């Protein structure tokens, strides 16, 4: 029996979303069928209902898209920054105007709760375009005393966990710096990227500046290898990131990789525990844990372990899992059957290796892909659930006694994307931040994003930064 209050259903209306039966590839400002004539289905992971047929781009389509982007680059790169800014600003405004449609579509195609797509994904996507519209005519101030030139065609590959937001992280800096783009969304979540193509049409973006090609991993592999691509930006798994790095080694293409993570969220015994609980829940259950910077390893100082775990278990019982379109839902659907299988496999490994499982007692809907909020205690550093990215609503809890031990354990991972520190001592926050090998360290909060703040990792979490002035660098040649 869940201790959550019973809420009446409050589903968001889907009336404003017009999902077409099938989509085209968006190349050179027009919609076209794929050369192969092949389509794949995209579904709603909460219901398994087919939403639309999506074209599978092959070599011929990729050639056309890269040729369109190369042609458009000649004019786009010569436009005054203030002109480029006007287009980027208009994109941001239209994202705001169409925010409800985009949020509903993101939730239907990806399974994330509507309150997250509505309050985080879409507003942050708009914010990225606004922010980069501001840089477009100020590049000489971003890089004083340097000659700033764009690179050419950027091949951009994005994952399924934040489809529109990752698109914004990629496209906004590319356009602001005068590059043109061919972007491939993830196989399971193409709908907001295709709707973004219609936004490009709506704002009158010159043809070929943004091209959207859909397909599976093979389409992405063709795109990054294309000889006329000058820059590759990838967000996704470490495994595919390494494959891309191998594929383009020696080609002279510039590369940024934003890969996986296994972040430590570290709670000291002087932390405000109730506040920390909210940060822990947000850190691992936000977006069903499909977050590269998720706080998936909780490190708790021994003195507060019992109190914290009791509070955490209680809080788990109040999380509402179910229809992602319901405005009261906290935990939506797992993005795909494949991802659900991966989560189950790793949770099985946690049990086999002797960790202690606790799951919220919440009923799971019959159709769709679901996994209950899960906490493992008794985890040791060698367990797979402490080392591998689960990318689901599964928290592994470890303990520590001293700050030195917390640092040692936090850094004992092949990844280095993010970390969190909970303590009331400012000096301790700074001491920890100095020693944690993570691209982002949050203090007394977690999962905070801002377009002005650079984001990216170390080690197997990748390299390069997105956001802020640092995020412009991978898209420019400096003379
Ligand atoms: P992938 O890395 O396979 O997918 C990311 C993107 O890369 C997708 O657009 C994918 O296309 C594309 N892609 C796949 N293979 C290639 C290739 N050889 N060359 C170029 N592009 C390619 O992630 P998965 O969806 O398979 O997820 C697997 C695991 O990766 C997750 O369980 C999670 O641990 C991690 N992950 C991490 C993310 C992060 O933000 N750091 C995001 C997503 C996943 P397609 O979708 O068509 O396969």
Number of the ligand 1 atom closest to the C-alpha atom of 342:
32
DSSP 335: S
C-alpha 234 to ligand 1 mean position (Å) = 9
- The tens digit of pLDDT for each residue in 279-302 reads 999 999 999 999 999 999 999 999
User: Which mutation among 40, 192, 240 tests ligand 1's pocket best, with the greatest number of atoms within 8 A of CB?
Assistant: 240
Judge if the beta carbon of residue 390 lies within 6 A of ligand 1. Answer: no
Q: What is the mean pLDDT of residues 22-30?
A: 98
- Name the token pair of 181: 């783009």
- Name the token pair of 205: 């973006």
Contact (CB, 8 A) for 422 and 397? no
The rounded distance, in Å, linking the Cα atoms of 284 and 289 is 5
Judge if the beta carbon of residue 165 lies within 6 A of ligand 1. Answer: no
Catalytic residue at 292? Answer: yes
Mean pLDDT (the chain) is 97
- Does the pTM surpass 0.95? The reply is yes
- The tens digit of pLDDT for each residue in 384-396 reads 999 999 999 999 9
Q: What is the mean pLDDT of residues 85-97?
A: 98
Query: Residue of the nearest CA to atom 28 in ligand 1?
Result: 237
Judge if the beta carbon of residue 40 lies within 6 A of ligand 1. Answer: no
- Please report the pLDDT score of residue 278 as a whole number: 98
Rg (CA), the chain: 22
Q: What is the mean pLDDT of residues 439-454?
A: 97
- Please report the pLDDT score of residue 7 as a whole number: 81
Query: Residue of the nearest CA to atom 21 in ligand 1?
Result: 220
Number of the ligand 1 atom closest to the C-alpha atom of 339:
32
The rounded distance, in Å, linking the Cα atoms of 25 and 31 is 5
**C-alpha dist (Å) from residue 21 to 52, 54, 100, 196, 212:** 5, 9, 21, 17, 18
> In 10 A of CB 319, how many CB atoms?
18
Judge if the beta carbon of residue 221 lies within 6 A of ligand 1. Answer: yes
pLDDT at 6 over 80: no
β 394-400/254-258 pair status: unpaired
- b/e 1-28 (16+ beta carbons within 10 angstroms → b): eeeeeeeeeeebeeeebebeeebbbbbb
The torsion of the CA quartet 165, 170, 172, 177, rounded to 10 degrees, works out to 170
The rounded distance, in Å, linking the Cα atoms of 266 and 407 is 9
Judge if the beta carbon of residue 159 lies within 6 A of ligand 1. Answer: yes
Q: Which of 346, 358, 356 is nearest to 319 (CA)?
A: 358
C-alpha 349 to ligand 1 mean position (Å) = 22
Judge if the beta carbon of residue 184 lies within 6 A of ligand 1. Answer: yes
- Distance, CA of 103 to chain centre: 15
Q: Which of 12, 116, 258, 389 is catalytic?
A: 258
Q: What is the mean pLDDT of residues 147-165?
A: 98
Q: Which of 154, 161, 209, 151 is nearest to 185 (CA)?
A: 161
Secondary structure percentages of the chain, helix, strand, coil, to 5: 40, 20, 40
Judge if the beta carbon of residue 236 lies within 6 A of ligand 1. Answer: yes
User: If you write DSSP's letter for every residue of 350-373 in order, what string do you get?
Assistant: HHHTTPEEEE---PPPSSS-----
Q: What is the mean pLDDT of residues 431-451?
A: 97
- Please report the pLDDT score of residue 124 as a whole number: 98
Query: Residue of the nearest CA to atom 38 in ligand 1?
Result: 236
The torsion of the CA quartet 435, 440, 445, 449, rounded to 10 degrees, works out to 170
Query: Residue of the nearest CA to atom 15 in ligand 1?
Result: 217
pLDDT at 53 over 70: yes
Query: Residue of the nearest CA to atom 9 in ligand 1?
Result: 186
Number of the ligand 1 atom closest to the C-alpha atom of 185:
9
pLDDT at 187 over 60: yes
Angle at 238 between CA 237 and CA 241, to 5 degrees: 90
Query: Residue of the nearest CA to atom 8 in ligand 1?
Result: 186
Contact (CB, 8 A) for 117 and 103? yes
Query: Residue of the nearest CA to atom 42 in ligand 1?
Result: 236
Query: Residue of the nearest CA to atom 6 in ligand 1?
Result: 159
- Please report the pLDDT score of residue 4 as a whole number: 55
The rounded distance, in Å, linking the Cα atoms of 321 and 363 is 8
* Local confidence band at 1 (pLDDT 50, 70, 90 cut-offs): very low
**C-alpha dist (Å) from residue 198 to 203, 210, 257, 278:** 9, 11, 27, 38
Contact (CB, 8 A) for 262 and 296? yes
3-state SS assignment for residue 258: strand
* Local confidence band at 460 (pLDDT 50, 70, 90 cut-offs): very high
Judge if the beta carbon of residue 54 lies within 6 A of ligand 1. Answer: no
User: Which mutation among 58, 182, 217, 466 tests ligand 1's pocket best, with the greatest number of atoms within 8 A of CB?
Assistant: 217
Judge if the beta carbon of residue 235 lies within 6 A of ligand 1. Answer: yes
The rounded distance, in Å, linking the Cα atoms of 466 and 301 is 33
Judge if the beta carbon of residue 244 lies within 6 A of ligand 1. Answer: yes
pLDDT at 133 over 60: yes
Judge if the beta carbon of residue 217 lies within 6 A of ligand 1. Answer: yes
The rounded distance, in Å, linking the Cα atoms of 233 and 172 is 12
- Please report the pLDDT score of residue 283 as a whole number: 98
With pLDDT > 90 as the criterion, what percentage of the chain qualifies? 98
Q: Which of 292, 293, 362, 466 is catalytic?
A: 292
With pLDDT > 70 as the criterion, what percentage of the chain qualifies? 99
Q: What is the mean pLDDT of residues 131-151?
A: 97
- Residues in Cβ contact with 332 at an 8 Å cutoff, skipping those fewer than 6 apart: 46, 107, 111, 112, 113, 116, 287, 288, 321, 324
Judge if the beta carbon of residue 161 lies within 6 A of ligand 1. Answer: yes
């Amino acid at each position: 029996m869940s201790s959550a209050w019973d809420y009446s259903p409050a589903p968001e209306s889907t009336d404003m979303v017009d999902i077409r039966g099938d989509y085209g590839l968006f190349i050179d400002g027009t919609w076209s069928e794929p050369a192969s004539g092949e389509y794949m289905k995209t579904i709603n992971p909460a219901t398994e209902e087919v939403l639309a047929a999506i074209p599978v781009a092959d070599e011929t389509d990729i050639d056309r898209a890269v040729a369109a982007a190369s042609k458009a680059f000649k004019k786009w790169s010569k436009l005054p920054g203030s002109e480029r800014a006007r287009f980027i600003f208009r994109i941001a405004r239209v994202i705001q105007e169409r925010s409800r449609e985009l949020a509903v579509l993101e939730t239907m195609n990806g399974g994330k709760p509507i309150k997250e797509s509505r309050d985080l994904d879409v507003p942050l996507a708009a914010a990225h375009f606004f922010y980069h519209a501001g840089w477009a005519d100020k590049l000489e101030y971003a890089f004083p005393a340097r000659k700033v030139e764009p690179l050419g065609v950027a091949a951009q590959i994005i994952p399924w966990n934040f489809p529109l937001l990752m698109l914004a992280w990629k496209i906004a800096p590319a356009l602001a710096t005068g590059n043109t783009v061919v972007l491939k969304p993830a196989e399971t979540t193409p709908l907001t990227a295709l709707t973004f193509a219609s936004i490009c049409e709506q704002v009158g973006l010159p043809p070929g500046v943004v091209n959207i090609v859909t397909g599976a991993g093979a389409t992405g592999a063709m795109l990054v290898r294309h000889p006329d691509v000058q820059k590759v930006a990838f967000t996704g798994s470490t495994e595919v990131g390494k494959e891309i790095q191998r594929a383009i080694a020696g080609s002279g293409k510039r590369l940024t990789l934003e890969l996986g993570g296994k972040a430590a969220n570290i709670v000291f015994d002087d932390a405000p525990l109730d506040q920390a609980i909210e940060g822990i829940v947000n850190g691992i259950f936000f977006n069903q844990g499909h977050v590269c910077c998720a706080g998936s390893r909780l490190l708790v100082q021994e003195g507060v372990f019992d109190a914290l775990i009791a509070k955490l278990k209680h809080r788990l019982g109040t999380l509402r899992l179910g229809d992602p379109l319901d405005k009261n839902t906290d935990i939506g659907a797992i993005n795909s059957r494949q991802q659900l299988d991966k989560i189950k496999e790793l949770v099985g490994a946690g049990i086999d290796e002797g960790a202690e499982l606790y799951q919220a007692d919440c009923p799971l809907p019959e159709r769709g892909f679901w996994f209950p909020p899960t906490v493992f205690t008794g985890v040791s550093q060698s367990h797979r659930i402490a080392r591998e990215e689960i990318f689901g609503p599964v928290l592994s809890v470890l303990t520590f006694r001293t700050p030195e031990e917390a640092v040692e354990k936090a850094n004992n991972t092949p990844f280095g994307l993010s970390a969190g520190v909970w303590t009331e001592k400012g000096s301790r926050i700074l001491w920890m931040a100095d020693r944690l090998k993570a691209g982002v360290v949050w203090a007394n909060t977690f999962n905070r994003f801002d377009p002005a703040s650079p984001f990216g990792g170390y080690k197997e979490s990748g390299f390069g930064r997105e956001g802020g002035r640092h995020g412009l660098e991978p898209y420019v040649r400096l003379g």
